[in-house]
């Protein structure tokens, strides 16, 4: 899926070693006649060509304004403190440590600007980071592989979903973890009955309640009761059901570790 015209290799940032966080001139052409709310976006990515690819993609997304770009964690912290941002698009690894800067930035953004969203972009499926990202709630959170950025429709849908309070998890994250999932349980998932675990495993594949009912040969009402019980046993606080569903699935994929 990768478009070589959008993304460069690991060394591509050498030509932009002195890049600093600054207001971006990128503006998206207006394509709609009806009044809409412009989403103010900050892009944080230390690799120059990848960053330029993200910016080029955002130019094609209606009603998005890139208000700043950053290449280090320190620059990003300054932006979070000073710039009115609706959505942060950030890499996981950035200077200075090249470890988990994007995840820490997401946590800081939730503290400083709880109404702002974040989409973490990752080169590969990294389950531990996905679990950390959603640990404190799935509202206004997204985890996507970088290759998704080249699909403008998918990128726009993710931006709209997260900026409006929803959550997005890359299908590759779910597919990879479900495919190699260890069925042993030594965590909060031990609280679930065998049937509830079957329901939760089906939820992790993205199946609807109706599909789960067909798969397990039970009624849709029974599936609803099992899901309600799962939420209760996993101590998931009452909220939008979609958000609790995502949290339950992430617990399942992470072997129930909080």
**Cα–Cα distance for residue pair 160/21, rounded to 1 Å:** 24
Other CB atoms within 10 A of residue 52 CB: 19
Both 142 and 30 in one domain: the answer is yes
Lowest mean pLDDT among 141-145, 185-189, 215-219: 185-189
End-of-domain residue from the set 173, 190, 222:
173
| Residue 206 falls inside a structural domain | yes
Asked if residue 202 and residue 75 are part of one domain, the reply reads: no
Give the pLDDT score at 177. 54
In degrees to the nearest 10, what's the CA dihedral of 164, 212, 251, 163?
Answer: -10
209 and 140 in a single domain? The answer is no
Q: Do 118 and 144 share a domain, yes or no?
A: yes
| pTM score, whole prediction | 0.62
**Are 117 and 186 found together in one domain?**
no
User: Half-sphere exposure of residue 211, counting CA atoms within 13 Å on the CB side?
Assistant: 9
Q: Would 3 be classed as within a structural domain?
A: no
Spell out where the chain has E strands: 39-44, 64-70, 87-91, 117-122, 141-145, 167-169
Q: Regarding predicted confidence, which is higher, 181 or 36?
A: 36
Instruction: Give the range of the structural domain holding residue 195, as residue numbers without chain letter.
Output: 181-253
- Assigned domain for 5 exists: no
| Average model confidence (pLDDT) across the chain | 80
What DSSP state is assigned to residue 239? S
Same-domain pairing of 186 and 167: no
Per-residue confidence band for 202, with pLDDT thresholds at 50, 70 and 90: confident
- The encoded tokens of residue 87 equal 């959505």
Q: Is residue 67 part of a domain?
A: yes
Q: Which of 87-96, 232-241, 244-253 has the highest mean pLDDT?
A: 87-96
Task: Give residue 149's pLDDT.
Answer: 86
Give me the DSSP letters along 95-142: TTTSSSHHHHHHHHHHHH-TT-EEEEEESS--HHHHHHHHTT--TTEE
Residues 45 and 137 in one domain: yes
DSSP 7-23: ---GGGGGGGTT---B-
The answer to whether residue 72 is domain-embedded is: yes
Q: What is the CATH number of the domain that holds 249?
A: 1.10.10.10
Q: How many domains does the chain have?
A: 2
d(CA 85, CA 190): 41
Write the CATH number for 43: 3.40.50.2300
**3-state secondary structure (DSSP) of residue 257:** coil
At residue 257, the pLDDT reads 44
**How many C-beta neighbours within 10 Å does residue 250 have?**
26
Whole-angstrom Cα distance, residue 237 to residue 93?
31
What are the pLDDT digits (tens) for 134-147?
Answer: 877 888 999 999 88
C-alpha radius of gyration, the chain, whole number: 19
d(CA 157, CA 162): 9
Residues 205 and 246 in one domain: yes
Q: In terms of domains, do 141 and 52 share one?
A: yes
- 216 part of a folded domain: yes
């Amino acid at each position: 899926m990768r478009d070589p015209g959008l993304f460069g290799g690991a060394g591509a940032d050498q030509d932009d070693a002195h890049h600093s966080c600054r207001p971006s001139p990128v503006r998206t052409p207006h394509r709609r006649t009806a009044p809409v709310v412009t989403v103010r976006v900050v892009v944080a990515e230390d690799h120059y060509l990848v960053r330029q690819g993200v910016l080029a993609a955002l130019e094609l997304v209606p009603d998005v304004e890139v208000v700043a770009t950053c290449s280090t964690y320190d620059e990003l912290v300054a932006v979070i403190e000073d710039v009115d941002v609706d959505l942060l698009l950030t890499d996981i690894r950035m200077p200075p440590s090249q470890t988990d800067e994007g995840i820490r930035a997401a946590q800081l953004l939730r503290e400083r600007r709880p109404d702002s969203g974040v989409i973490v972009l990752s080169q590969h499926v990294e389950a531990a980071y996905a679990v950390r990202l959603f640990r404190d709630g799935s509202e206004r959170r997204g985890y996507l592989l970088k290759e998704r950025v080249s699909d403008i429709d998918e990128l726009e849908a993710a931006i709209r979903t997260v900026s409006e309070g929803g959550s997005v998890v890359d299908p590759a994250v779910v597919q990879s973890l479900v495919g190699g999932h260890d069925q042993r349980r030594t965590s909060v998932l031990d609280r679930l009955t065998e049937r509830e675990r079957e329901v939760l495993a089906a939820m992790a594949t993205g199946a609807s309640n109706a599909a789960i009912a067909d798969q397990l040969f039970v009624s849709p009402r029974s599936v609803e009761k099992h899901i309600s019980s799962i939420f209760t046993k996993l101590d998931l606080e009452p909220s939008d059901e979609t958000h609790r569903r995502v949290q339950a699935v992430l617990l399942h994929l992470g072997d129930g570790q909080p």
